Amino acid sequence: MRKHREDVSPKQPVGSAITVLLADNDKHVCKLLTHFLGEAGYTVHCVSDVVSARHVILQERPAVVITEVLFPGGDGLALCAQIKSDPATEETGVIVFSTIHAVLRAREAGADVFLSKPLQPHRMVEIVSRLTRSNSSKRSDGAQ
């Protein structure tokens, strides 16, 4: 019998690790998602505040950003809007992941997906995989 993880998202080819940024101040969420996304072949950077998230976005250019809505001293929705309004990062996939029901606000900020907590790791891996495939095809369509 195949493992559930393999049914959801095959591992990325060696040497082509796709970077995902997880911005969430819950250490348990970071640990679990880092594990499951890592198992699926992604490189995961986990930060607990918006300032660190902005730094990683500029330095690492993640393919997908997963962000909570509220942080001490920050706002994940504002981070999302900033990512989507900057031509250098507008193709970055953004998942807003929160206990706060903010579907409409997330959509207004430009999020690609809103997911409610509690954590469903295999669903998150599936969505990250879908976003990275979608963004990859957009980039290759535009490169003529």
Q: Would you say residue 14 has pLDDT above 60? A: no
Residue 72 CA to chain centroid, in angstroms? 20
Q: Whose CA is closest to 61, among 139, 143, 144?
A: 139
Per-residue pLDDT band for 138 (boundaries 50, 70, 90) equals low
99-110 pLDDT per residue, tens? 888 999 999 999
13 token code pair: 């080819």
Q: What pLDDT score does 74 carry?
A: 84
